[in-house]
Amino acid sequence: MTPSYHVVTLFPGMFAALTEYGVSGRAVKNGLVRLKCWDPRDFTSDNYRTVDDRPFGGGPGMVMLVEPLDLALTAVKTELRRLGVLQPRMVHLSPQGRVLDHALVEELAGEPALVLLAGRYEGIDERLFERHRLEEISIGDYVLSGGELPAMVLLDALIRHVPGALGHADSAAEDSFADGLLDCPHYTRPEDYLGLKVPGVLRSGDHAAVRRWRLKASLRRTLARRPQLLGQRTLSREERDLLDEIRSETDPGRPGSM
């Protein structure tokens, strides 16, 4: 089944950044994914198409009204039922949610459909969580003006996992975090740029040596930038040996160093 992604947003035009450009744009145009935006203003009943109001109890800012969002989410679920998706996962993009990581992307990539709610203002009426069993996902511990950018981040990450979306079948598998490590450095022409040269092993034609160099470079980068990742996976014997080499090179006084 073609993955079906639905976004409830006050600014559907923002999602042209996904549907018109790059990997995600090609995937949408080639019919590999469906992406549809739903504007809550289309589900209002007053002449002003009101979607927000002052919070009960006072305080700054406005809160998104429950009814337009409820009707929009219900309409999305009705459409998905016609496609055979009876219980789609419903996600509210929020800094209060589970932080997005590679494991969560892989989990969500297996879903036939997702419904994303991109909130605005001070937030959404709490009763929407009860009505639609919304789960919350965050892209980091900071606050943005709305959920559109987080929704686009999530969608871009998901679309990369759709078969055929990337030009090379192994591209997603070789991304940073795909195997629990940061990606290795990459080089292309020219071989020498202002005295900065491409490592000779990458020009050697020795595929085994290239693979080992890339693995070692990936381990070195992970150890330097995100060492906690190394404790979250089971290292192979080769990886342990390469890490010993890296540490010996960094600390010549370590046992086994030259």
CB 205 within 8 A of CB 252: no
Contacts of 231 (CB under 8 A, 6+ apart): none
The verdict on whether 160 is a catalytic residue reads yes
Q: Which of 131, 160, 214, 247 is catalytic?
A: 160
Q: Does the annotation mark 175 as catalytic?
A: yes
| Radius of gyration, alpha carbons of the chain | 23
Q: Of the listed 67, 79, 106, 122, which one is catalytic? A: 122
Q: Which residue has the tokens 């990886």?
A: 239
Three-state secondary structure of 39-86: CHHHHCCCCCCCCEECCCCCCCCCEECHHHHHHHHHHHHHHHHHCCCC
Please name which of 133, 130, 117, 143 lies closest in space to residue 51, comparing C-alpha atoms: 117
Active-site pick, 41, 95, 156, 221: 95
Tell me how many degrees the CA angle 4-151-105 measures, rounded to the nearest 5.
70
Catalytic residue among 175, 183, 244, 245: 175
Phi, psi of 40 (to 5 degrees): -60, -25
| Mode of pairing for the β-strands spanning 63-64 and 89-99 | unpaired
Examine the residue annotation and report whether 122 is marked as an active-site residue of this protein. yes
For residue 12, with 0-12 CB atoms within 10 Å meaning exposed, 13-18 middle and 19 or more buried, which class applies? Answer: middle
Residues that are catalytic: 95, 122, 160, 175
